[in-house]
Amino acid sequence: MAWRRNAVRLYRALLYAYPAEFRHEYGSQMQQLFEDRLHSEPWLRVGLDTLADVAFSAPREHVHILAADLVYGARLIRKSPAFTLVAWFTMALGIGATCGVFSLINAVLIRSLPYVGPERLVYIWMPNPRFKEIPQEMAPFSVDFYAWQASQHSFSELTMFHQQRFRAVDSETVQRVGGAAVAGNFFHTLGAKPELGRGIEPADDQPGHQHVVVISDALWHSHFAGAAGVLGQTLLLNRESYAIVGVMPREFRYPHSADFPYSDGDISATECWIPAALTQQQKTEAMGSDGVTIGRLKPGVSLKQAQAEMTALEARLDPVIHPAPWGGWVALVRPFIDTAVGPVRPLLRLLLGAVSLVLLIACSNVANLLLARSAGRVHEMGLRTALGAERPRLVRQMLTEALLLAWGGGALGVLIAYAGLRLVLRVHPGDIPRLDEASLDVRVLLFTAGISLITGLGFGLLPALAASRVDLTTLLKQGGNKGVAGTSNRLRNGLIVTQVALSVILLAGAGLLIRSYLKVQSVDTGFAPSTVTVNLTLDERYATPQKLKDYFRNLLGQVDQLPGVVSAGVVSALPLSHRESISTVEIKGRTVKKDETVDDRMATTSYFQSMGIRLLEGRFFVDQELPGRAPEMLVSQSFAHLYFPSESVIGRQFQAGNQWRTIVGVVADVHHTSLEESPRPTVYSPFLQIPDSHAFLTVRTASSPERLISSISKIVHSIDPTISPERTATMRQLISEATSQRRFQTVALSVFAAVAVFLALVGLYGLMAYAVKQRTAEIGIRIALGAPAARVLGMVLWKGLALVSMGLAIGLSGAAAVTSLGAAWLFGVSSTDPVTFLLVPVLILAVALVACLIPAWKATRIDPVTALHYD
């Protein structure tokens, strides 16, 4: 009957769920049994029974084979511990590096943020296209924000905050904590829920009701020992008391220093949130307060639509709120997550690319080891084939062995990744958001297990296919010893060439980064690295210029008296401190392009001396305001070059702070934002004439900076106990921080390159040692026939170096292609830097020579008599 034939055909197809070995042995029996049952039992019962049977027994047969193969593999591991250790260690390096990099990517890019639907969150910035030098990420003015909030339709919520540094006063200690003054809907917009109590609510965001605070989990533990009764207790912030109403969960510390550009670099993570509680005047003042603005897109509204609405809205508002000449502001909508992680994506891609190469090299290394071993197992494979084992069965067996090696390596790799991660967190790799949260979580472990599986199959497949291709006739003719040697030798040589090529690419990349790093390090910063700096912020009690002047004069006077102090000065914005200030350019008798800006600083004369900034022309200005004398100022060298390329700038008049000032001198350029950007034209006005409540004390000392720092802190405390230095650092520390990301990427890539070269050389050594062993008889005959040791040595060396040279040629052309893609990573060197591209082959050849020398030397020691008995 037709249905019965079809049922049997279906059953035959189902039999493919069983291992081939089992199917071949029992398939026809099982089919017959199935047919017998179809004849004698109701078809529905047979069908259901059979489906259940296949679902249950087919996996069981696979598990049985796997168990047998694992036992066999384990026996092999026990039999050759050296082989296993080398393979495990090799894979551990490859998988460990991959696992470590993945855990960074996991922490920064994948792991979910402690907000609801972060992909719907956006920042709204308010740049002014008239000023090209001003960054795009300008916080909107409060007046614009409240106007948007009243009439926009794209966002379900729109909130704002500004970062604020507090002095949190305990019973005895004063601690600086980073905080944020937030609008009433801040937590609601982010969708962040407190772990204790409540968040800041709209009712708190009113003048007079603002004395409540939500604290971070970290502050809860450091100040209140994690006590459950913390709610309702009082926290003293900047001498005002706030009632604690909530505690945020451990992972919520928004904003971090790296969450958005130009965030307060001194606030690494936020510890407390208070209501902004702006007054009506603050909300409506045209150029008054500002704050970082976050919106949550309504469902169905795209970023583009929101941008279109905000552009139109601000175009309407701008002329009303900001009449000429202060207008020209626009609204810029940017994705929230991308703002934080966008800048570090290239770095993570670089690391991922580098570890992929390392992993490939590790895999090909182990594949090579397996090939060498499988050449020695020809006899075993031949025997098993003769006993009826089929090729798929042999391949499966060898893949299981490869997986044992991969998983062993993976387990060791996790340990390596753990150690590596601890090291990475210690070196502080620059502004990478949430990197400190990187850990080996379940996702990382699953990833590692998956990578181990894939790599195991990857490096196991070629050797398994090569070894299982047994030609019994040839095998018997050759006495069972050679079999697959020819094919597998070609394969092994190919793998070594690949390894060398890949490590050359990595090494060239690392070389270029190292050269770039050295160039950055040798940049003339324009200032002395040993200068000690102290960041000070005075509060509202110092609201008048006179009070500020008195404070700083008093401070400078006392610091000058400290033993060892050479010079002490004050500046409004210190290089590499992330503080910026710019001014439009107006030079008397000179028309400059409209809206052009220069960097604008206030400094004392002693600032230049304490920082070691050289005077190139003219003289320093006079600090004091002198009656009857025109106010004075200094300009930087690049300012002079830009505006007065062929004449002297001295005596020219520049308008700064609504006042015409005479340029009396030119000072050397300093790198302000970073060491890698060329210095911007800068003007300096006397600090003591236009003082600022935020300033940096700069001190040059002949003695140790550490001792000096504690003496300065004492002086600051003695002048006003409620003011404490926000941060003290030497310029060397600031330089180190400014170059930390470059240092991190250079070190990481160099480590990966070193691992790659090491693995390639281990592989090369293994190959050469094996080749010499394989040719023992031949070399023995040559020696017996009188070949001198030098010729034997040369023969082996030549073979090794020929392979390396091929790898070098391929690798160098690959490196030239790859590095040209990464030109953005380089500083001061071209992507085909001749020094790097010369040094890499020299280094590779030198170490390759070492790797080949030992097997070559061993070849010369072969005893002809033993060798002839060898085969």
Partner 1 sequence: MNSLPLTPQVFHILVALADRDQHGYSIMQDVAERTGGNMRLSPGTLYGSIKRMLEEGLVVELRAKDRPRVEPDDERRRYYRLTPLGRKAARAEAARLSEMLEQARVYGLAPKRS
Which stretch in 52-60, 337-345, 624-632, 807-815 sits in contact with partner 1 by CB under 8 A? Answer: 52-60
The minimum distance between CB 19 and partner 1, in angstroms, equals 11
The smaller minimum CB distance to partner 1, of residues 58 and 97, is found at 58
Q: With binding defined as CB under 8 A, does residue 481 bind partner 1?
A: no
The minimum distance between CB 381 and partner 1, in angstroms, equals 22
Rounded to whole angstroms, what are the CA distances from 411 to 26, 144, 446, 451, 453? 38, 56, 12, 11, 12
226: left (phi over 0), alpha (psi -120 to 50) or beta: left
Taking CB under 8 A as the criterion, the residue among 49, 524, 550, 706 binding partner 1 is 49
> Cα(223)–Cα(175) distance, rounded to whole angstroms?
10
Half-sphere exposure of 241 (CA within 13 A, CB side): 6
Q: Residues in contact with partner 1, total (CB under 8 A)?
A: 24
Half-sphere exposure of 706 (CA within 13 A, CB side): 0
Q: With binding defined as CB under 8 A, does residue 57 bind partner 1?
A: yes
The minimum distance between CB 49 and partner 1, in angstroms, equals 5
Taking CB under 8 A as the criterion, the residue among 10, 33, 74, 110 binding partner 1 is 33
The minimum distance between CB 2 and partner 1, in angstroms, equals 22
For the chain, the C-alpha Rg in angstroms (whole number) is 36
> Cα(182)–Cα(295) distance, rounded to whole angstroms?
14
Measured in degrees and rounded to the nearest 5, phi and psi for residue 735 equal -65, -45
Which stretch in 20-28, 316-324, 734-742, 841-849 sits in contact with partner 1 by CB under 8 A? Answer: 20-28
Which stretch in 49-57, 189-197, 497-505, 762-770 sits in contact with partner 1 by CB under 8 A? Answer: 49-57
Closest CA to 104 of 265, 266, 341, 338: 341
Burial of 770 (0-12, 13-18, 19+ CB in 10 A): buried
Helix (H) or strand (E) holding 38: helix 20-40
> Cα(574)–Cα(467) distance, rounded to whole angstroms?
68
Q: With binding defined as CB under 8 A, does residue 29 bind partner 1?
A: yes
- Peptide bond before residue 114 is cis, with ω within 30 degrees of 0: no
**Residue 156 DSSP one-character state:** E
The minimum distance between CB 5 and partner 1, in angstroms, equals 18
Closest CA to 434 of 252, 186, 165, 263: 252
SS3 content of the chain, % helix, strand, coil (to 5): 55, 15, 30
Q: With binding defined as CB under 8 A, does residue 34 bind partner 1?
A: yes
Q: With binding defined as CB under 8 A, does residue 527 bind partner 1?
A: no
Q: In 10 A of CB 443, how many CB atoms?
A: 13
User: Which string of DSSP letters, residue by residue, matches 648-673?
Assistant: --TT-EEEETTEEEEEEEEE-----S
> Cα(500)–Cα(95) distance, rounded to whole angstroms?
19
- Stated length of the chain: 871
Three-state DSSP state, 383? helix
The minimum distance between CB 41 and partner 1, in angstroms, equals 9
Residues 6+ apart with CB under 8 A from 598: 582, 583, 585, 639, 680, 681, 682, 683
Which stretch in 29-37, 275-283, 318-326, 610-618 sits in contact with partner 1 by CB under 8 A? Answer: 29-37
Taking CB under 8 A as the criterion, the residue among 7, 18, 507, 699 binding partner 1 is 18
Residues 6+ apart with CB under 8 A from 521: 739
Which stretch in 25-33, 146-154, 743-751, 840-848 sits in contact with partner 1 by CB under 8 A? Answer: 25-33
The minimum distance between CB 29 and partner 1, in angstroms, equals 6
The smaller minimum CB distance to partner 1, of residues 41 and 625, is found at 41
The smaller minimum CB distance to partner 1, of residues 62 and 379, is found at 62
Q: With binding defined as CB under 8 A, does residue 52 bind partner 1?
A: yes
Q: In 10 A of CB 449, how many CB atoms?
A: 17
Which stretch in 24-32, 284-292, 520-528, 540-548 sits in contact with partner 1 by CB under 8 A? Answer: 24-32
Taking CB under 8 A as the criterion, the residue among 28, 478, 521, 830 binding partner 1 is 28
Q: With binding defined as CB under 8 A, does residue 625 bind partner 1?
A: no
CB 526 within 8 Å of CB 668: yes
Q: With binding defined as CB under 8 A, does residue 676 bind partner 1?
A: no
Q: In 10 A of CB 588, how many CB atoms?
A: 10
Closest CA to 279 of 287, 271, 270, 288: 288
Closest CA to 610 of 658, 561, 663, 568: 568
Q: In 10 A of CB 313, how many CB atoms?
A: 18
Q: With binding defined as CB under 8 A, does residue 42 bind partner 1?
A: no
Q: With binding defined as CB under 8 A, does residue 146 bind partner 1?
A: no
The minimum distance between CB 27 and partner 1, in angstroms, equals 9
The minimum distance between CB 383 and partner 1, in angstroms, equals 19
Three-state DSSP state, 838? helix
The minimum distance between CB 10 and partner 1, in angstroms, equals 13
Taking CB under 8 A as the criterion, the residue among 61, 285, 580, 595 binding partner 1 is 61
Taking CB under 8 A as the criterion, the residue among 7, 38, 50, 606 binding partner 1 is 50
Give the contact letters, 296-335, x = binds to partner 1 (CB under 8 A), - = no.
Answer: ----------------------------------------
Q: Is the four-CA dihedral 176, 180, 181, 187 of positive or negative sign?
A: negative
Taking CB under 8 A as the criterion, the residue among 12, 24, 26, 356 binding partner 1 is 26
Which stretch in 58-66, 412-420, 532-540, 841-849 sits in contact with partner 1 by CB under 8 A? Answer: 58-66
Three-state DSSP state, 695? strand
Taking CB under 8 A as the criterion, the residue among 64, 316, 614, 791 binding partner 1 is 64
The smaller minimum CB distance to partner 1, of residues 46 and 513, is found at 46
Q: With binding defined as CB under 8 A, does residue 25 bind partner 1?
A: yes
Taking CB under 8 A as the criterion, the residue among 7, 30, 333, 634 binding partner 1 is 30
User: Which string of DSSP letters, residue by residue, matches 561-576?
Assistant: HSTTEEEEEEESS-TT
The minimum distance between CB 18 and partner 1, in angstroms, equals 7
The smaller minimum CB distance to partner 1, of residues 33 and 427, is found at 33
Amino acid in the structure at residue 320: V
The smaller minimum CB distance to partner 1, of residues 47 and 343, is found at 47
Taking CB under 8 A as the criterion, the residue among 4, 5, 9, 32 binding partner 1 is 32
Q: With binding defined as CB under 8 A, does residue 54 bind partner 1?
A: yes
The smaller minimum CB distance to partner 1, of residues 57 and 284, is found at 57
Burial of 557 (0-12, 13-18, 19+ CB in 10 A): exposed
Which stretch in 53-61, 248-256, 290-298, 639-647 sits in contact with partner 1 by CB under 8 A? Answer: 53-61
Three-state DSSP state, 334? strand
Q: With binding defined as CB under 8 A, does residue 60 bind partner 1?
A: yes
The smaller minimum CB distance to partner 1, of residues 58 and 398, is found at 58
The smaller minimum CB distance to partner 1, of residues 52 and 308, is found at 52
Q: In 10 A of CB 842, how many CB atoms?
A: 9
The minimum distance between CB 45 and partner 1, in angstroms, equals 9
The minimum distance between CB 387 and partner 1, in angstroms, equals 14
The smaller minimum CB distance to partner 1, of residues 18 and 517, is found at 18
- Peptide bond before residue 299 is cis, with ω within 30 degrees of 0: no
Q: With binding defined as CB under 8 A, does residue 43 bind partner 1?
A: no
Q: With binding defined as CB under 8 A, does residue 9 bind partner 1?
A: no
> Cα(197)–Cα(231) distance, rounded to whole angstroms?
7
Contact positions vs partner 1 (CB under 8 A):
18, 22, 25-26, 28-34, 36-37, 49-50, 52-54, 56-58, 60-61, 64
